[in-house]
Amino acid sequence: MTKHQLTWAFTFWSVLQVAVLNASRFTVERGQGSSLERGEVGQGATGVDAALPPPTLQDWLNTLALQHAQARADAANEIGKLGKEAAEAIPKLAKLLQDDREVAGDICVRDAAVKALGHIGSAAASSVPEILTQLRRRSTRIFREGVSFALANIGQEAPEAVLPSVLESLQASDWYVRWVAASACGLLGEKASAFVPRLRQLAKYDDESRVRSVASQSLSDMSKVITLPAPNLTDWLAYLDGSSARARVDAANEIGKLGKEAAEAIPKLAKLLQDDREVAGDICVRDAAVKALGHIGSAAASSVPEILTQLRRRSTRIFREGVSFALANIGQEAPEAVLPSVLESLQASDWYVRWVAASACGLLGEKATAFVPRLRQLAKYDDESRVRSVASQSLSDMSEVITLPAPNLTDWLAYLDGSSARARVDAANEIGKLGKEAAEAIPKLAKLLQDDREVAGDICVRDAAVKALGHIGSAAASSVPEILTQLRRRSTRIFREGVSFALANIGQEAPEAVLPSVLESLQASDWYVRWVAASACGLLGEKATAFVPRLRQLAKYDDESRVRGEAQNALDLIDKVCAATNDKSGLSGRAGEASKCHGRRQESICAYLHPLCCLVW
């Protein structure tokens, strides 16, 4: 700077000092606060300013009425410094909460007003509703911080005026309202201890990261002045009511850990069974809910119908496993509430329902003993490999705690009612092995004669059924008409052989029920009916001697080679039987010898037969 420039600067500074001094003297003489009217608060003081009296509360109240935004903000700041002594300013400060004019950067008049109310403290309790109203109307970071400070300061001495609003704000839909409430809790300290569960919820699950952050910080701050209470059932129940799916899952898991002590949670958990929102991977809220009900045990028996309803509505692997666990755990102490549903589910059309029921049986152990036959059926015949697998595993698990009962007639009868053709065949075969003791099965077996579904190769259900009737013997005499009806409806080699066997076995003890039908069948127009009758004669042996003439006719003249062959085979068998009985060579083409073989029985046999049979003789 040149010498000339320095001279001008010194002259300007001197003139400015004189002007300021004169203005100050004029103000003192007139008793006017021109500096306040101009809003020039806080500009610093020269030696002359220091002689002025300090501004009073009334001065600042007057300044609040000025139009100058900066003046209002400065006045509010100065009023705040007066603390409780500035209670008179509360109405005007509350009114200024609506003044969002900016004065510097992003600072507004209302930012200063809300802080001033906070500094005044409990006397400003009446302004809390207006503070929160303005918070919801428009939010900035500085205003949020001011509201948080105000709520905390007012709440220290007037908690009844603040805590209800804080609790409500912690539940608010607007993230910034939750932020303010969470921040205030940290400042309130011990007085906000009741809100710790909600703060934990916000810290972990809130959708807004800023809320999570401030809630975590508040918990940390509070932990320095109080021992934070451990979560309890009431806290977890509150979590179940929250909107966060993750919170609901965690709450359900924690409730489950409480076991029977959490019975109070059953209604809410049952309601959550409908909540299939995913929270992580493929885990849903209802997955955690159903497991929690299982952990609670028998007290949750009333929820079993809803559990099964939701199982049928939508099924995932995790939910199925949860339902299985719940049914088993509840059923251990309340079997009457579970076992009927398990039995029904074992018969369900949906594979995943059968899967759950079969899995539950393995967990139920001894209590599921009655379901062993059905489990065996599922393990061997179910169409779904996953059901077969879990049923086999359950049988294996059960065998470690009980001796599995051997299959009996009742079990096989149940198999006959199943939808699996393979199961029906195996059941019919097993029933046949029981012989006369299986007479109870005759009606069901007779009905199965109409089931021509193939199960392996060309074997049909009715093939096994007709053989089983044959093994039962004379008690199955009433089924002969149906056997022959089905023979005429459709014929296969295996079924023909089965019919032949059945007619012969039944006829051994009940010839009156079989021989008339055999005679009629020997005259039938269908070759396979004649074949069956001829084959049956061979098995009937001595009881079929009356049919030898017709058999000779078929053996020599029938149009169907298979009938001719079977008729000759029957003659040979009858010949051997008669030879063994009478110690004679029998029927090798000599009618007289054949007549001697069966002559003693002719009269009684003819009484059973069609009149045409007697005419043969």
Classify residue 61: in a domain, yes or no: no
The predicted-structure confidence for 304-334, as pLDDT tens digits, reads as follows 999 999 999 877 899 999 999 999 999 999 9
pLDDT value at residue 98:
83
Mean pLDDT confidence for 131-141: 88
* Residue 130 in domain: no
Q: Which pLDDT band holds residue 105 (cuts at 50, 70, 90)?
A: low
Mean pLDDT of 9-22: 37
> What pLDDT, in 10s, does the model give residues 50-76?
578 889 999 999 998 888 889 989 999
Give the count of domains, the chain: 1
Report residue 611 as tokens: 């009149």
Residue 573: pLDDT above 80? yes
Alpha helices in 121-244 (DSSP H): 128-137, 141-157, 159-170, 175-188, 196-205, 209-223, 233-240
Nearest alpha-carbon partner for 537 in 511, 518, 562, 565: 518
pLDDT band at 1 (very low <50, low <70, confident <90, very high): very low
In a domain, 307, yes or no: no
Q: Write the DSSP symbol of residue 104.
A: E
**Per-residue pLDDT, 604:** 40
- Measured distance CA(446)–CA(469) in Å, rounded: 8
Please check whether residue 218 lies inside any domain of the structure: no
Mean pLDDT to the nearest integer, 548-575 = 96
The whole-number pLDDT of residue 206 equals 92
SS3 state of residue 526: coil
Tokens of 559: 């149009």
Helix axes of 245-258 and 233-240: crossing angle, nearest 10 degrees: 150
Q: For residue 459, what is the domain's CATH number?
A: 1.25.10.10
Alpha-carbon distance 147 to 125, whole Å?
A: 13
What's residue 281's pLDDT?
Answer: 60
Residue 19 included in any domain: no
Q: Which residue has the tokens 């007139």?
A: 30
Give the model's pLDDT for residue 583.
58
The whole-model pTM stands at 0.67
Dihedral angle sign, alpha carbons of residues 372, 373, 376, 378: negative
Q: How far apart are CA 302 and CA 300, in angstroms?
A: 5
Note whether residue 464 is domain-resident.
Answer: yes
In angstroms, the CA 160 to CA 167 distance is 11
Q: How many CA atoms lie within 13 A of 616 on its CB side?
A: 21
* Average pLDDT over the chain, rounded to an integer: 85
Owning domain of residue 508? 410-616
Quick one: pLDDT at residue 270? 95
In angstroms, the Cα distances linking 614 to 318, 511, 540, 617 are 75, 16, 19, 5
On whether the CB atoms of residues 359 and 324 are closer than 8 A, the answer is yes
Question: Is residue 527 included in any domain, yes or no?
Answer: yes
By DSSP bridging, strand 278-280 and strand 102-104 are unpaired
Could you tell me if residue 153 is inside a domain?
no
The per-residue pLDDT for 420 is 82
